[in-house]
Amino acid sequence: MPVRSALWLGLLLLAALWGSSTPASLLRRLREHIQQLQESSGLGLSPGAVALPKERWLEQPLDPFNASDGRSFLQRYWVNDQYWARQDGPVFLHLGGEGSLGPGSVMTGHPAALAPALGALVIGLEHRFYGLSIPPGGLDVAQLRYLSSRHALADVASARLALSRLFNVSSSSPWICFGGSYAGSLAAWARLKFPHLIFASVASSAPVRAVLDFSEYNEVVSRSLRSTAIGGSRELGACSSLDTVEDQAELLGALQALVGGAVQYDGQAGPPLSVRRLCGLLLGAGGNCSRAAPYHGLRRAAQVFLHSLGQRCLSFSRAEIVAQLRVTDPQVYGVGDRQWLYQTCTEFGFYITCEVPRCPFSQLPALPSHLQLCEQVFGLSTSSIAQAVAQTNSYYGGQTPGATQVLFVNGDTDPWHVLSVTRNLGPSESAILIPSGSHCLDMAPEKPSDSPNLHQGRQNISQQLQTWFRLTKESQVRGVV
Ligand SMILES: *[C@@H]1O[C@H](CO)[C@@H](O)[C@H](O)[C@H]1NC(C)=O
Ligand SMILES: *[C@@H]1O[C@H](CO)[C@@H](O)[C@H](O)[C@H]1NC(C)=O
Ligand SMILES: *[C@@H]1O[C@H](CO)[C@@H](O)[C@H](O)[C@H]1NC(C)=O
């Protein structure tokens, strides 16, 4: 198995290359990187050179479930009113998720691109405990009790009421929530829990089912790597060499993140490697399947990846990772790794493992290692995590939430689509599955190279919203008559 050993050599090389950040957070860093790049490129290109909207702050209760707790925090948001045609026009509420939000949330990509046609006011709301919306008192465990999706939804409800007053939005204006990934779940749940406040939601790549052991992630990665549509199969299938079996969990986790990241964000502006490019590198130029190609290819892939994320190296020291995650000073943790780990430990799980037969990576014992992190960083037991995941699904309904006027948008290349809603569940619970679409692709700014499928998907989103507006108007008219 020369290819196999060459690959293993490549893995050892990765270990030598990477030394200052955790592989587990590599996907999060990649996401942040893509988001920033898409926002800045979109903002730079916007015609008419509109001034960037300024940062605004909304005072919110720290504990919305305890009326006698008077503490509050400032939640950051942005407003784009340049397309808002009338006081009773629609309001697009773009929800932030497990990272910081920026002015791009109201200026580029969806939903901003939809706003002109519908005359909508666009508001971007950062999630509590991420970015600069961190309550005073830092990130210690006592404080993190106020971080959950349920708190975030309470913020959506109170922001909806406060901002209506502040901007003199008519009571007949439909409010539509948008979000991608975890924030997509929030968008769906906002409509589910507050149908009197939120008219409809567009939930992109929303993993609404919580799951402790997310082994299906790598099943999709495997399928996507074989898919000719995104350039995976032919080249990689020829060598079928990603089958190494070694138990260096952190190291292999990093390789998984590198490959998983290429699949998850395939075809978007910003990721360092597309699937086609990664496969090309692994096989050498021109599909040359020589002994040396995987070794050089993997090294090259790792270099490209780290360089574009501005990282010199990644650490595989568990002790170092735990020490970093224990830091409670928010300044130290820009990307919100500690906060998101807390939410996975107390609500969602989502631990990516390799326990399915088709997983292209080593079957490392990843789940116990993830669970141990919850214990080491927050003192949370494995049984409490499993229970929390089950509770989340019973509270929100998992993949059958029963919410009306929610449009679920997914791409079938995206490993997260298996936790979302990908088929229509009823006349007003609709789903769009974009062929060869990656994670949150529909929310990215439009590019000339966008596939016809993607183009069609975005059109369907707009049409679905207009249909809901029309049906509501018609039933109102009938009600009056
Ligand atoms: C509610 O807030 C009050 C005032 O801060 C506090 O004394 C009480 O313990 C809180 N109740 C709960 C259930 O957290
Ligand atoms: C608020 O909007 C209404 C129309 O919906 C308008 O009559 C009123 O003057 C507005 N008030 C302010 C303060 O803008
Ligand atoms: C494949 O790569 C090897 C080593 O780099 C080289 O010697 C060989 O000529 C290449 N073969 C083809 C068909 O490009």
Q: Same domain, yes or no, for 102 and 160? A: yes
Q: Same domain, yes or no, for 411 and 377? A: no
> How far does Cα 115 stand from its chain's mean position?
22
* Residue 48 included in any domain: no
Catalytic hit among 337, 420, 439, 442: 439
Task: Out of 81, 163, 165, 168, give the residue to mutate to test ligand 2, the one with the largest number of ligand atoms within 8 Å of its CB.
Answer: 168
Tell me how crowded residue 313 is: count the other CB atoms within 10 A of its CB: 15
Tell me how crowded residue 41 is: count the other CB atoms within 10 A of its CB: 16
Q: Which residues contact 123 (CB under 8 A, 6 or more apart)?
A: 77, 78, 79, 80, 91, 92, 93, 94, 106, 159, 163
Domain stop point among 343, 372, 393: 393
Q: Give the per-residue pLDDT at 293.
A: 57
Amino acid type, 99? G
Tell me how crowded residue 201 is: count the other CB atoms within 10 A of its CB: 26
Q: Same domain, yes or no, for 248 and 189? A: no
- What range defines the domain where residue 439 resides? 54-208+397-480
Confidence of residue 51 (pLDDT cuts 50, 70, 90): confident
Q: Is the CB of 291 under 6 A from ligand 3?
A: no
Q: Same domain, yes or no, for 447 and 350? A: no
Question: Ligand 2, atom 4: nearest CA belongs to which residue?
Answer: 87
Q: Same domain, yes or no, for 365 and 430? A: no
Length of the chain equals: 481
Q: Same domain, yes or no, for 350 and 221? A: yes
**What is the distance in A from the centroid of ligand 3 to the CA of 294?**
12
Catalytic (active site) residue 414: yes
Mean pLDDT over residues 247-273, rounded?
68
**pLDDT averaged over every residue in the chain:** 81
* Residue 282 included in any domain: no
Question: Ligand 1, atom 11: nearest CA belongs to which residue?
Answer: 66
> How far does Cα 286 stand from its chain's mean position?
34
Q: Give the per-residue pLDDT at 49.
A: 53
β-pair type (72-80, 121-125): antiparallel
Beta carbons of 107 and 140 less than 8 angstroms apart: no
Query: Which pLDDT tens digit goes with each residue over 10-49?
Result: 343 333 333 333 444 666 777 777 777 666 665 554 445 5
Quote the percentage of the chain above a pLDDT of 70: 75
Pocket of ligand 2 (CB under 6 A): 87, 168, 170
Domain stop point among 353, 368, 393: 393
Q: Which residues contact 186 (CB under 8 A, 6 or more apart)?
A: 95, 97, 127, 149, 152, 153, 156, 177, 179
Question: Ligand 2, atom 1: nearest CA belongs to which residue?
Answer: 168
Q: Decide: helix, strand or coil at residue 88.
A: coil
Catalytic hit among 133, 414, 430, 436: 414
Q: Give the per-residue pLDDT at 2.
A: 35
Q: Same domain, yes or no, for 90 and 167? A: yes
Catalytic (active site) residue 81: no
More confident residue, 325 or 29: 325
CA atoms within 13 Å, Cβ hemisphere of 459: 7
Tell me how crowded residue 86 is: count the other CB atoms within 10 A of its CB: 10
**What is the distance in A from the centroid of ligand 1 to the CA of 66?**
6
Q: How far apart are CA 237 and CA 241, in angstroms?
A: 8
Mean pLDDT over residues 240-249, rounded?
36
**What is the distance in A from the centroid of ligand 3 to the CA of 282?**
14
Q: Give the per-residue pLDDT at 179.
A: 96
Quote the percentage of the chain above a pLDDT of 90: 49
Q: Is the CB of 171 under 6 A from ligand 1?
A: no
Q: Same domain, yes or no, for 268 and 372? A: yes
**What is the distance in A from the centroid of ligand 2 to the CA of 87?**
8
Q: Give the per-residue pLDDT at 386.
A: 95
* Residue 222 included in any domain: yes
Q: How far is CA 223 from CA 145, 220, 243, 284, in A?
A: 39, 5, 15, 22
* Residue 238 included in any domain: yes
Task: Out of 3, 288, 289, give the residue to mutate to test ligand 3, the one with the largest number of ligand atoms within 8 Å of its CB.
Answer: 288
* Residue 265 included in any domain: yes
DSSP 8-state class, residue 350:
E
Q: Same domain, yes or no, for 154 and 171? A: yes
Domain stop point among 339, 370, 393: 393
SS3 of 444-465: CCCCCCCCHHHHHHHHHHHHHH
- The total number of structural domains in the chain stands at 2
Q: Is the CB of 66 under 6 A from ligand 1?
A: yes
Tell me how crowded residue 431 is: count the other CB atoms within 10 A of its CB: 17
Smallest-distance ligand from the CA of 171: 2
Query: Which pLDDT tens digit goes with each residue over 77-135?
Result: 999 999 999 999 999 999 999 988 999 999 988 889 999 999 999 999 999 999 999 99
Task: Out of 63, 65, 69, 151, give the residue to mutate to test ligand 1, the one with the largest number of ligand atoms within 8 Å of its CB.
Answer: 69
Q: How far is CA 52 from CA 46, 55, 168, 169, 473, in A?
A: 10, 9, 22, 22, 34
Q: How far apart are CA 77 and CA 58, in angstroms?
A: 7
**What is the distance in A from the centroid of ligand 3 to the CA of 284?**
9
Q: Is the CB of 246 under 6 A from ligand 1?
A: no
Torsion angles phi and psi, residue 93, rounded to 5: -105, 105
Catalytic (active site) residue 308: no
Q: Is the CB of 292 under 6 A from ligand 3?
A: yes
Q: Same domain, yes or no, for 151 and 130? A: yes
